[in-house]
Chains A and B, each alone.
Chain A
Amino acid sequence: MTPRANGIWVIILSFLVAYLLEIVPFPEWAMHYRPAWVAMVLIYWVMAIPYRVGIATAWFAGAFLDILEGSLLGMNALTFALLAYITLSLHQRLRMFSALQQSGMILALVGLSMMLSYWIKIGLEESSEGSLLFLLGALSSAFIWPWLFVMLRHLRRGFDVH
């Protein structure tokens, strides 16, 4: 039996904060280091409560990010849906991982999603070909993940989200 939905506002709030962090202006030199906040929050929720946050949620979260960033509608939606799918299929294993292993997975997942949106943008000539420095964002995401994970878990347990 599926447990009764609880604490949906915690999920929404965490996403809202992630959106905020995603668009907070960064100085020019730090542009490439911006962690993929929304993607990480999404991965956490998919991992923690896969029966509630799934591919559909990921799609809408991504579409909203597209509108927020003014990027092509559906680009982030597609990459997030893919992220959610991979996380869904791995979530049992991910939960068992140590913090370091999880960070490694985040590096791979966020890197993949960034690479994918980069390809899409290049393919559709939405952006110019540049250096691959943007992948540094995946690195900073992996670095931040352990803290984010602990924080979100506290939130989830404290507010009994399931």
Chain B
Amino acid sequence: MFADRRYDYLDRFRFTVAYLSTPIYWVADIPTRVSLWIDDVFVSQRDLIEENAQLRQELLFAQRELQLLAGLASENSRLRDLQAASQTVQGRAVTAEIINVSNDPGARRVLINRGAHNGVFEGQAVLDAHGLMGQVVEVLPFTSWVLLITDSRHGTPVQVNRNGERAIARGSRSDVAGLELEFVPDTADIVVGDLLVSSGLGQRFPKDYPVAEVTSVVHDPGQAFAVIRARPLAQMDRTRHVMLVIPDDEVISSVPVPDDFLGAGPGELPVTEEMSEPTDSTNEGNDIEAERDTVPDDNVLLVRDADEQEPDMPAAGQESADTETDETVMPEEDGPGPGEDLP
């Protein structure tokens, strides 16, 4: 046990034996797949037509937003160019399916059906259609374990989408899945309903993916920090399909940023919150209009930042662009992420 914690050589052993354990997971997953198959096969035509219409409508909305996004993205990149700001992590995504859930009540982990043979690596961010879900903590040949952001040992660097206030969202320690913002001073401007997005500090998660929504803010005069709870947007216990983000390494540039950008006041940068800069990996992410819709592989799709989150954001407070300029981005490395080394 202690050897497993301290040294790496047992990982290889684990990896090898996992070839044996994969079939067991495969068999254990059969009931779920059968029920999904039944759902697929025994479905009425009317339901299908209804669903089709609904999907068409959603697609229409999404495409409209995409058009807006193209303009915003180019404007945004020009502004960032002026500002010499560091780049956001965008990246592509591969889909995966959750095939099992950890049976340990104290841990919130899920098993997905992609592993080392599919190019999964440790620390990879996992999303679902609604928001950030977790990160890969253990890679096995054909499966990987994902630590969810609601695990009490997991901390996610987030920022409030409205004003860029930064915090660390830690998994709730109670039995109810949720997030708690740690060490937020009482004076911080965080209110119920605020959208928390990943801040990208810590280099583990891509920036600006929606993480959670603040559900309660309690200012207890007896405590040094505000007690803030948030509800993760990702549907941890309902979804089966997730996405693994493949970061574009080239996008993470290391531009040193002068300190005066830190305290830039409101109104200085009329940039929208979204910051989404879909980039392909060859150019530095500054001129982006043309290639953003190329889909490299039928299994690989471009991830857009929070398309569906945009309408319900407050239109005020568009000055969040100045807050992330202080991250002097280092080239990605395998250091301990922000996720695991919390007290």
* Contact A64–B21 (Cβ < 8 Å): yes
> Chain B's nearest CB lies how many Å from the CB of A146?
23
B1 & A34 in contact (Cβ 8 Å cutoff): no
Q: Mark A9-26, 1 if CB is under 8 A from B, else 0.
A: 000000010011011111
B residues within 8 A CB of A133?
105, 175
B-side interface size class = 20 to 34
Q: Which of A81-89, A90-98, A100-108, A121-129 contacts its partner?
A: A121-129
Docked complex Cα distance between A4 and B25 (Å): 34
Minimum CB distance partner of A128 in chain B: B152
Known contacts: A64-B21, A68-B21. The answer to whether A130 contacts B102 by CB under 8 A is no
In the complex, chain B residues whose CB is within 8 Å of the CB of A121: 104, 106
- A134 interface residue per 8 A CB criterion: yes
Indicate if the CB atoms of B106 and A134 lie closer than 8 Å: yes
On whether the beta carbons of A128 and B153 are closer than 8 Å, the reply is: yes
Would B153 and A70 count as touching, CB distance under 8 A? Answer: no
- Encode contact with B along A57-77: 1 for CB under 8 Å, 0 otherwise: 000000110011111111100
Bound state CA distance, A67 and B102, in angstroms? 12
By the criterion of a CB under 8 Å from any partner CB, how many residues of chain A are at the interface? 37
What's the least CB distance linking B343 to chain A, in Å? Answer: 9
Interface SS majority for chain A:
helix
Residue B218, interface by CB 8 Å: no
A134→B105 CA distance, assembly (Å):
7
B145 and A70 form a contact (CB under 8 A) = yes
Segment 83-110 of B: residues with Cβ below 8 Å from A: 100-107, 109
Query: Which residues on the B side are within 8 Å of A75 (C-beta)?
Result: 1
Of A68, A75, A129, A134, most B-chain CB atoms within 10 Å = A68
> What distance in Å separates the Cβ of B237 from its nearest Cβ neighbour in chain A?
6
Given contacts A28-B237, A121-B106, A130-B175, contact A16 B24 (CB under 8 A): yes
* Cβ-defined partner of A25 (8 Å) among B100, B105, B109: B100
Given the interface pairs A23-B100, A31-B105, the reply to whether A70 lies near B111 with Cβ below 8 Å is: yes
**A54 CA to B303 CA in the complex, in Å?**
53
In the bound complex, residues from chain A placing their C-beta under 8 Å from that of B25 are: 23, 68
Give A26 Cβ to nearest chain B Cβ, in Å.
Answer: 7
Residues of B within 8 A of A25 (CB): 28, 32, 100-101
Closest to B340 in A: A125
Min Cβ gap A154→B in Å is: 23
In the complex, are the beta carbons of B10 and A73 less than 8 A apart?
yes
Interface residue? A32 (CB, 8 A): yes
A131 with B175: CB separation less than 8 A: yes
Instruction: Provide the residues of chain B in CB contact with A31, threshold 8 Å.
Output: 103, 105
> Quick check: A26 and B103 within 8 Å, CB to CB?
yes
Contact mask for chain A residues 125-150; partner B; CB cutoff 8 A; 1 contact, 0 none: 11111110110000000000000000
The 8 Å CB contact of A19, one of B24, B104, B173, is: B24
Residues of A within 8 A of B20 (CB): 64
Name which residue of chain A comes closest to B143, CB basis.
A70
Cβ-defined contact, A78 with B24, below 8 A: no
Q: In the complex the two chains form, is A72's CB within 8 Å of B24's CB?
A: no
Complex formed: what's the CA distance from A23 to B5 in Å? 23
Known contacts A16-B24, A125-B153; decide if A69 and B104 are in contact (CB<8 Å).
yes
A-B contact pairs, 21 of them (CB 8 A): A20-B24, A23-B103, A64-B20, A67-B14, A68-B25, A72-B1, A73-B1, A73-B13, A74-B1, A78-B1, A121-B106, A124-B5, A125-B153, A127-B153, A128-B106, A128-B107, A128-B173, A129-B106, A129-B173, A130-B175, A131-B175
* Extra pairs beyond A32-B105, A72-B5, A120-B1 (18, CB < 8 Å): A20-B24, A22-B103, A23-B25, A23-B100, A25-B100, A64-B17, A64-B20, A67-B18, A68-B24, A70-B138, A73-B10, A121-B104, A127-B106, A127-B153, A128-B153, A133-B105, A133-B175, A134-B105
